[in-house]
Structure 1
Amino acid sequence: VRVGARGHGPGVRQLASRLMRTVPPGVDDEEAFRTAIHEALAAVGQGTELRFTDATVPTEADSAHRLAEVDHLPNGDGLVLDEKVMDQLQEVVAERRFRDLLHRASLSLTRTVLLSGQPGVGKTMAARWLAQALGWPLVTLDLSSVVSSYLGTSGRNIKAVLDYAKSGPCVLFLDEFDAIAKRRDDDTDIGELKRIVNVILVELDRWPDSSLLVAATNHPQLLDHAVGRRFDRAIELLLPGIHERRLLLHGLAVGVDDIDGRVVDLVAELTEGTSGSDLTRLWELCRRRAILRAASTTDMLIEELARRTGDSGPGRDTLFAALSTRLNLSNRQIAAVAGVSHPTVATAIKRARARG
């Protein structure tokens, strides 16, 4: 009962109620039996990971390769998104806390979520955050394994993973969703993928609220229109604005002693159009260099910003002017860190000030 209630709650609970009302023949201690049934139902929510063990993960028939990966302790710490997007993710979590209240109002929970946005904006991290906030395992579909060269096998592979995810509370994450849910009028596609779309359409309609299906795509325009309409929520993740970039970078800087917060703010200002994952890579690159060169992270950030703004141009002029006015660095100090001559720095600062 404890295991079954996680995946098929209403039916199993109904059966449990019947068993408590009418104890099966052969049970010696009826009161102990009823107590055990009650405790099993009360324990639902504890030990969810028992259902999602390596031994139960579906595999490719001809290779025994696992079709999905299970993360029992997903970590979404550090997720920084636009406030409106975070509000939507938090609503999905809150719905589970107020499940009974919503059901009494004849309102269904969000069962399926489509995340779209450019690469690196945080779609995978958002799925991890949802799983962590819900206290559920994260089951990720391995698209390279699920699409088989054998006719008819791909649809069965996807169905096997979907059935596995429906067997208990979890977040099923389908990354690069457009790879398996393309428009059925795409003449370049093979018939097998068109059949996969039909499988997905059926499953999206039937998805239970005991789990959460999260799909991510960089190219929502490639999705079959019928698939896109079937998601309960469609959330677009945008490139981080300056506020989000500041939050992300200052979060990365926690515990780092050799960093000037003013430089962190400057990096946030000068990296417009940069994704969260690219900012993280920039930070980690500079931290590695600081350790290898026995230098400060502050200097490595300035050096890398100077390199990325090029040999000349408004971007580099703005950087040098900001280092001069906001960090009170001399032209020689800026030149030493940026790897240029101090007259070059002086000229760049003059140009920046002339532009206002």
Structure 2
Amino acid sequence: MDSNEVFLTLSELVLLGDNDSASKFARQNLMKIAKNYPNLNDRVLEVLKKSKSAKATKSLRFAKTPLPVDQDSRLELIKTSITSQVNSDTKWPVQVQRFLNEVLEERKLEDKLIAAGLNPITSLLFVGPPGVGKTMAAAWLALMLKKPFYVLDLSAVMSSYLGRTGNNIRTVLDFAKSQSAVLLLDEFDAIAKRRDDNSEIGELKRLVTVLLQEIEDWPNDGLLIAATNHEELLDPAVWRRFNKTVVFPNPNYSDIQSFMSVALDGSVKDNSILPLISIFFIGETYATIDKEIKSFRKRAILTEVPLEHLLKQFFEESVKSIDKNDKEKMRLLAKNLLLANVSQRQTTSITGISRPTLKKMLEELV
């Protein structure tokens, strides 16, 4: 992320009134400045010291529009925080990225579409298991479209009075439309259940009907995104109301490499280690990988051991525990060891694959 993107992201968080995320984002980037520009280290430390002792105050200049609240609990019905991991370099699996880019392209050429009697994409349904990047993708779209990003807080919206739940959801929808925002309805299956489910009562079924109408009528200046881990629970009519359905798979080997490169954010100079350690995260979700990367970064700071050293140590320990009977994984590991210029002798020692076989693999790679 270059300096202009950092400034824009920080400005967005401040102007939206999201002080917690703004402070977190600022601290992260101040530490990068101190690392890359040693002459500014003392000034950075002074700023961090002041921020730690400063009292939290609200500025009238940056006062945000009051968020909708539940009448009884007075809890805010939406969340406004944007994950600090999201930036313009964040990537998803090819098929997912294609859909997300399509949204951006249609907004970029919105006037042409409207002139032809067509509307840009205004609603998306994100489907996939937990941790595969659905919420992050929604936040990324908001960032790229330069729009506020809100997430429906289901725990605050759901009321023991079904009529109140319906009112809360309508309030959130009306608020998001008034802000020309990107609104994420997370855990969508909890509020858009099948209307043929005999266990549900009339009020909730009427709420589903209202939601279906809102999806179709969502204004062009905003974007409505629903996400679910349990698509089988959704009312059948939901599927055809959204402009696009985006299925989020678990990341493959190539996706993992790209994600790790962005998540490490230039902290590792020797990128040859990334293809090697990525193999040990195959089958994991983005959320799990992100937690592991943060754990490595924390250990590097607390122990003052270079991050690259910790990653190489992780690779060596993982190699020792790997099952060499897993031929497919061994071939993939061998391929990436060769691409990383590890000697055939060492690759044979690690994977158990004979040198003649490695030689053939190397010829195929050239």
TM-score normalised according to structure 1 size = 0.71
Summarize the Cα distance change of 1:248–1:179 in structure 2 as closer, same or farther, 3 Å threshold: same
Summarize the Cα distance change of 1:76–1:193 in structure 2 as closer, same or farther, 3 Å threshold: farther
For 1:34, the equivalent position in structure 2 comes to none
Partners of 1:320 and 1:327 in 2: how far apart? 13
For 1:139, the equivalent position in structure 2 comes to 150
Q: Does 1:247 align with 2:258?
A: yes
Q: How many Å apart are 1:143 and its aligned residue?
A: 0.7
Q: How many Å apart are 1:157 and its aligned residue?
A: 0.6
1:297 to 301, 307, 310: 307
SS at match of 1:261: coil
Check the 8 A contact 2:276/2:315 in 1, yes or no. Answer: no
Check the 8 A contact 1:174/1:216 in 2, yes or no. Answer: yes
1:261 to 271, 278, 288: 271
Q: Does 1:80 align with 2:91?
A: yes
Q: Greater CA radius of gyration, 1 or 2?
A: 1
Check the 8 A contact 2:106/2:121 in 1, yes or no. Answer: yes
Q: Does 1:159 align with 2:195?
A: no
Summarize the Cα distance change of 1:321–1:81 in structure 2 as closer, same or farther, 3 Å threshold: closer
1:206 to 217, 228, 243: 217
2:105 to 88, 94, 99: 94
SS at match of 1:194: helix
For 1:280, the equivalent position in structure 2 comes to 290
Partners of 1:165 and 1:117 in 2: how far apart? 24
Check the 8 A contact 1:58/1:164 in 2, yes or no. Answer: yes
Percent of matched pairs sharing the same residue? 36
Which structure 2 residue ranges, 5 or more long, are not aligned?
1-14, 18-61, 359-366
Partners of 2:336 and 2:217 in 1: how far apart? 57
SS at match of 2:226: strand
Partners of 2:354 and 2:211 in 1: how far apart? 58
TM-score normalised according to structure 2 size = 0.69
For 2:80, the equivalent position in structure 1 comes to 70
Check the 8 A contact 1:67/1:141 in 2, yes or no. Answer: yes
Instruction: Within 5 Å, give how 1:2-81 maps onto structure 2.
Output: 54-71=64-81, 75-81=86-92
Partners of 2:288 and 2:251 in 1: how far apart? 11
Q: Does 1:104 align with 2:115?
A: yes
- Residues 210-258 of structure 1 show CA distances to partners (whole Å, capped at 9, x for unaligned) of 211011112222211111210011111222222222222222334325x
Check the 8 A contact 1:113/1:215 in 2, yes or no. Answer: yes
1:150 to 161, 176, 180: 161
SS at match of 2:162: coil
Q: How many Å apart are 1:262 and its aligned residue?
A: 2.1
Q: Does 1:116 align with 2:127?
A: yes
Partners of 1:220 and 1:307 in 2: how far apart? 39
Partners of 2:189 and 2:101 in 1: how far apart? 25
Equivalenced residues, count: 295
Query: Which 10-residue stretch deviates more, 234-243 or 144-153?
Result: 234-243
